Amino acid sequence: MEKNNKVLLGMSGGVDSSVSALLLKNSGYDVIGSTMELYAGSSCCNTNTYLDAKMICKQIGIPHFIFNYKNEFKEYVINDFIACYSNCKTPNPCIECNKHMKFGLMWQKAQEMGCYYIATGHYAKTEYSEKYKRWVLKKSNAGKKDQSYVLWNIPKELIEHVIFPLSDFADKEQIRQIARDNELKVANKPDSEDICFIPDGNYKKFLENNSNIKPKEGNIVNSQGKILGKHTGLYNYTIGQRKGLGISNPVPLFVLGFNSVRNEVIVGEESELYKKEILVNNINLLLFDSIDTMLEVEVKTRYSSKAAKAKIIQEKDLIKVVFDEPQRALTPGQSAVFYIGDIVVGGGKIM
């Protein structure tokens, strides 16, 4: 595609994407607003979302379109969410949504509409690196609000086509102030914190209502297999969980893992939660085509966790991660994302 200044912007009706639209337009881009219809009644797909996005686009003078991707969202995001819990894993649906929806189907739509770029209101950064001779995904200046962690799974060939207009802002209040200064009515709209398709936050009820996952009693056992109590269904527990186990013990016990064949929750003392090595699958590398020698990186294993120093090496379709210091509650299904400085090396799913 020949380079042009047309950009398709994903708009949720919130303040981040609304200010992104304004900044792009003021920078001279030919902006088209788009809202994806993904799941009826979700926090990011409802009548207010569409109306707010359309209102903002009209106010700043850009076109706005709504695209229905409900079937695709169910296939790529909801079905994966259910499959993870069915297999005793803890998913991060935002990562699947970014890969398949925002940076998959939206990019396809952008190409159909003749756009060279797509944009979102994520706090992340793209730029060309002279050192690595390729386009790279980087952390934004937003500190704890940086969202590069949930973007590791996007196709690397797409990076040069992605714009994050909020990359250089340090905090959300600056974004809200720009919205106020420009009289955007969404300036004080609260952030959506929950999983978008579970607005009440009750993922257990969602699973019971939308899948074959139902309460099924089984044993809670320690590492040696001794029965300590009963559980109400494996999906009701997460690794590292302490409260709600319903068992008494001289020292606190935590969920260490699961035996799905025997329908058991395995618990142990906190010291047993720490691991120094993990394997990662579903790899997506952004900075290199492969990692053939031991590479020193920092690794984030949850969105809110602090990055930890580690060494990684690729073994066919897996990456072995060896941490400098043992890490707590490493959870299958969650993402391990690798960084060199501010640059995202890539990532994968913890096994």
pLDDT, mean of residues 6-19: 96
* pLDDT for 45: 67
* pLDDT for 271: 97
Residue 26 pLDDT more than 90?
A: yes
pLDDT, mean of residues 15-31: 98
User: By the 8 A CB rule, do 101 and 66 touch?
Assistant: no
* pLDDT for 161: 98
- What domains lie within the chain, and their CATH numbers? 6-181 (3.40.50.620), 215-268 (2.30.30.280), 274-350 (2.40.30.10)
Residue 335 pLDDT more than 80?
A: yes
* pLDDT for 148: 98
Of the pLDDT bands very low, low, confident and very high (cuts 50, 70, 90), residue 140 is very high
| 156: nearest Cα among 281, 280, 287, 297 | 287
The catalytic residue positions are: 97, 196
User: By the 8 A CB rule, do 109 and 99 touch?
Assistant: no
pLDDT, mean of residues 173-195: 91
Chain mean position to CA 253:
29
CA gap 149, 339 in Å, rounded: 10
Percent of the chain at pLDDT > 90 equals: 91
Residue 67 pLDDT more than 70?
A: yes
| 148: nearest Cα among 349, 346, 332, 348 | 346
The DSSP bridge partners found for residue 183 are: none
Q: Could you tell me the two tokens for 159?
A: 């990076």
Residue 110 pLDDT more than 80?
A: yes
The region that residue 41 occupies, defined by phi over 0 for left and psi between -120 and 50 for alpha, beta otherwise, is: left
Number of H helices, E strands in the chain: 8, 17
User: By the 8 A CB rule, do 137 and 148 touch?
Assistant: yes
Q: At what angle do helices 15-26 and 47-60 cross, to 10 degrees?
A: 20
* pLDDT for 40: 76
pLDDT, mean of residues 109-137: 98
In one-letter notation, the amino acid at residue 314 is: Q
* 38-57 pLDDT per residue, tens: 987 776 767 788 899 999 99
* 217-245 pLDDT per residue, tens: 999 999 999 999 999 999 999 999 999 99
Q: What mean pLDDT is reported for the chain?
A: 95
Residue 25 pLDDT more than 70?
A: yes
Instruction: Give, in order, the Cα–Cα distances in Å from 68 to each of 35, 72, 100, 195, 196.
Output: 9, 9, 14, 19, 16
Buried b (16+ CB within 10 A) or exposed e, 188-207: ebeeeeebbbbeeeebbebb
* 251-275 pLDDT per residue, tens: 999 999 999 999 999 999 999 999 9
* 306-323 pLDDT per residue, tens: 999 999 999 999 999 999
